[in-house]
Amino acid sequence: MPPIQDHPLRFKLANELHARPFPSLSAPCRAIYLAIKQPKDAASRDRSQDLFHLVALLDRYGAAHPQPGATHYSGQIGQHMLKWEQHTEFVTYTVFLSGLGEKPFDPSDFDVFPSDWLMDAPGVRVTSAMLRIASRVPDKDIDKHLSDWFVPESLAVSRVLDDDAVVAGDFRIDPTGHQRFAVFVRDSVGERRAGRIAQRLCEIETYKAMSMLGFTRVRDIGPRLAEMDGELMRLMELMANDDGQEEATLRALLQVSTELESLSARTSFRMGASGAYEAIVHQRIKVLREERYKGRQTFAEFMMRRYDPAMRTVKSAGVRLESMVQRATRAADLLRTQVEVGRSAQNQQLLHSMNQRAELQLRLQETVEGLSVVAISYYAVSLAGYLMYPLAGAVGLSKGMMTALLVLPVVGLVWWMIRRIKHKVDAGGDQSGPDM
């Protein structure tokens, strides 16, 4: 086969599918998980700060640095394994520790992250979790652990991946500030599968927390949205009343429409991101292939009862905001058309009055022209009479008769001259009109 040129991104895109492998875990072990996000405009942040913060942690342990511009990293820090990932809005740190420790969910495990390093983080904590991955024990022992470690009212427990493991979590923040998840895996489960289970639990918690940011945003804008909805209804009622205040109503309506468009622009990313994160949460739960454990609620049921209503609120707020934007736009278009029709009627009235004034001016001009003919004719007949009087005696006519004979020719000549002058003036105006 002759050589063919590769697309510049071919290898990069192919390698991206394999860039974030699942960790390999051997029970018993523990994992601590931390997700960091900048409070505002996280999607457009300076991502080099994320990498710089990672390098600062690696330097504490004398570990190797990632490649420049890396978006993921796995390596040894001391006796533990670190997995770092950079996402659109946040970065995650997962540290895997061998063994189960002296006590379950010991907050001292987070000491792997130095306190001063945490204070210098380029963002704030979105969520943090502790995972306890233990070998599968009899169900009665699992029940005892669950009652000791979690809040029963919100506990979700499932058998996952064809009963290869039992996973549990109550999605509550414990007194030490972390979420808790327990995983009991069979001894026959491979390290890759155990790693996938732990990774899925971390992703479920992270994307749940990220999508809930949209819910808090909706609650913040809810009161103002209700106010603008009432204002929009009031303005539309004013439009229906036709009280002659169309100009003022249009200005108020355009102001509401502008604010709605601005609000939509400020919230569209967060609402869209919440929808995307929600889909990931449900997809991650689905791939666990849950089965009920002793009548307890599953992760999917927990989300249906506690999480899905919040997401429906976000979606309904987005639909409501979009509907209000469209209503305001349509109302503004209708009112603008009404104003333009009113202005057109005013212009027609103005043109009609201008036509009336032009007719009056034309009549006045014609009257003036008639008077001008009479006045000019009078003086012209007098002058002609003075010129013709010497001839009157020679032809045997009196001065009165000579004057009478001169009136008609002189008046006709004056009238013809005035008409000719007017015709030239009108013709000159018509020729100069298009050039103005």
Q: What is the pLDDT of residue 432?
A: 52
Q: What is the pLDDT of residue 252?
A: 83
Tokens of 309: 């209503």
Q: Rg (Cα) of the chain, in Å, rounded?
A: 45
Half-sphere exposure of 178 (CA within 13 A, CB side): 22
The pTM assigned to this predicted structure is 0.76
Domains of the chain by residue range = 20-199, 360-425
Percent of the chain with pLDDT over 90: 54
How many Cβ atoms sit within 10 Å of the Cβ of residue 308? 15
Q: What is the pLDDT of residue 415?
A: 74
Residue with tokens 């849950």: 290
CB 148, CB 105: distance < 8 Å:
no
Enclosing H/E stretch for 98 = strand 90-98
Mark the ranges of the chain whose per-residue pLDDT is less than 50.
433-436
Q: What is the pLDDT of residue 69?
A: 86
Q: What is the pLDDT of residue 312?
A: 95
Q: How far apart are the first and last CA of the chain?
A: 73
Rounded to 10 deg, the angle between the 308-394 and 246-287 helix axes is 150
Q: What is the pLDDT of residue 419?
A: 73
Q: Tens of pLDDT along 205-232?
A: 999 999 999 999 999 998 998 888 888 8
